[in-house]
C-alpha cells in the first residue's frame, strides 16, 4: 500500500527486536524499556531544538521530528523509539485551528459547541493526505535508526480527540464534552465516527511509512465512568484496531503489534484486553500483577 507516496521501504535490518517480541507475547531475555514522553523537555538538546520554531511547525518538519525522536536514544539504552508528533495533528487535518500556547497547552479558537459545527470538518477520507509530513518523518527516522531499535507510531483515540475539539483545549472537568454525550448523543457518535474514519488510514499510513508498532492514546478515559466509556469510547477503540488490522492485510502490509493505553481506565481493563490490541498499557493507578490477573495476562 502507498500512503501519500510512502509505501514499504527497504529499511536496514532490525538489530534489537526485544520490544516487538515482547509486544507479540513472546519470551524475551529481559524486559524491554521505552518511555512515555521519551522525547521531552528533560533533555537540554530537546529544548534547544524546540526553541527554533513553534510547536506545530516543529511537528510539520520531518527533519526536526526525526532529530527529536533520536535524541533520547543517544543518551539511554532504550529498546524502542516513538516518533515525535502530537495527537492533535488529526483535528488540524480535519480543518480545525489548533495552537500550542506556552504555559497553557493546546488551544482551539473555534471549538465544536453545536451540532451544526460538525459541518465545518473536512471529509475524514482526506485526513491522511494532509498528514504526509508525519509519514515523511517516520520514513526518515526509520532510515536513520539504521535498525538499532523499532519505531512506534501513534494517534489519539476518538474520545480523547473529541474532548479537545469540544472543550477548546485542556480541561479538568470535560464539562462541555460530557454535555455533548448527554444532550447530543447522536451528534457525539457522529463525531466519534468521523474521527475513527480519519484515524484508520492515518495509522495504516504510518505503518506503510515505516512504523513497526502502533499505540492508541485514550488519554481521557478516566473522565468517563464504566457506562459512558462502554458507550462512547470502547466501541471506537475496538473499531480502530479491527479496521487497521483489516486494512493492513488488504494492503499487503505485515501486521504490527498494537497498544491501547487508556489513562485512568483501570475500570475497563478486562474489556480493553479483549479490544483487539496485542498490548494493554497501564498507568500508575493499577498494580501490574493485579492487572495481569484481571486481563488474562494481556497487560
Residue positions annotated with a catalytic role: 37, 41, 50, 86, 164
Q: What is the 3-state secondary structure (H, E, C) of the chain?
A: CCECCECCCCCCCCCCCHHHHHHCCCCCCCCCCCCCCCCCCCCHHHHHHHCCCCHHHHHCCHHHHHHHHHHHHHHCCCCCEECCCCCCHHHHHCCCCCEEECCCEEECCCCCCCHHHHHHCCCHHHHHHHCHHHHHHHHHHHHHHCCCCCEEEEEECHHHHHHHHHHCECCCCCHHHHHHHHHCHHHHHHHHHHHHHHHHHHHHHHHHHCCCEEEEEECCHHHCCHHHHHHHCHHHHHHHHHHHHHHHHHCCCCCCCEEEEECCCHHHHHHHHCCCCCEEECCCCCCHHHHHHHHCCCC
Amino acid at each position: 500500500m502507498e500512503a501519500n507516496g510512502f509505501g514499504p521501504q527497504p529499511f536496514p535490518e532490525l538489530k534489537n527486536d526485544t520490544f516487538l517480541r515482547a509486544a507479540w507475547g513472546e519470551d524475551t531475555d529481559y524486559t524491554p524499556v521505552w518511555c512515555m514522553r521519551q522525547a521531552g523537555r528533560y533533555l537540554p538538546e530537546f529544548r534547544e531544538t524546540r526553541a527554533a520554531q513553534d510547536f506545530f511547525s516543529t511537528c510539520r518538519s520531518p527533519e526536526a521530528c526525526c532529530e527529536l525522536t533520536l535524541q533520547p536514544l543517544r543518551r539511554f539504552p532504550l529498546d524502542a523509539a516513538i516518533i515525535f508528533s502530537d495527537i492533535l495533528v488529526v483535528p488540524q487535518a480535519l480543518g480545525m485551528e489548533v495552537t500550542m500556547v506556552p504555559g497553557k497547552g493546546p488551544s482551539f479558537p473555534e471549538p465544536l459547541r453545536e451540532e451544526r459545527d460538525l459541518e465545518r470538518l473536512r471529509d475524514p477520507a482526506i485526513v491522511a493526505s494532509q498528514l504526509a509530513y508525519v509519514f515523511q518523518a517516520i520514513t526518515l527516522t526509520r532510515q536513520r535508526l539504521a535498525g538499532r531499535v523499532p519505531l512506534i507510531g501513534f494517534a489519539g483515540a476518538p474520545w480523547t480527540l473529541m474532548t479537545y475539539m469540544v472543550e477548546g483545549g485542556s480541561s479538568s472537568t470535560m464539562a462541555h464534552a460530557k454535555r455533548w454525550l448527554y444532550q447530543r448523543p447522536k451528534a457525539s457518535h457522529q463525531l466519534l465516527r468521523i474521527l475513527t474514519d480519519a484515524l484508520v488510514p492515518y495509522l495504516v499510513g504510518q505503518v506503510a511509512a515505516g512504523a513497526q508498532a502502533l499505540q492508541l492514546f485514550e488519554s481521557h478515559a478516566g473522565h468517563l465512568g464504566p457506562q459512558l466509556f462502554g458507550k462512547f469510547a470502547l466501541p471506537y477503540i475496538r473499531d480502530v484496531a479491527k479496521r487497521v488490522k483489516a486494512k493492513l492485510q488488504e494492503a499487503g502490509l505485515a501486521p504490527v503489534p498494537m497498544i491501547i493505553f487508556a489513562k485512568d481506565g483501570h475500570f475497563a481493563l478486562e474489556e480493553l484486553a479483549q479490544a483487539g490490541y496485542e498490548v494493554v498499557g497501564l498507568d500508575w493507578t493499577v498494580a501490574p500483577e493485579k492487572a495481569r490477573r484481571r486481563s488474562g495476562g494481556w497487560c
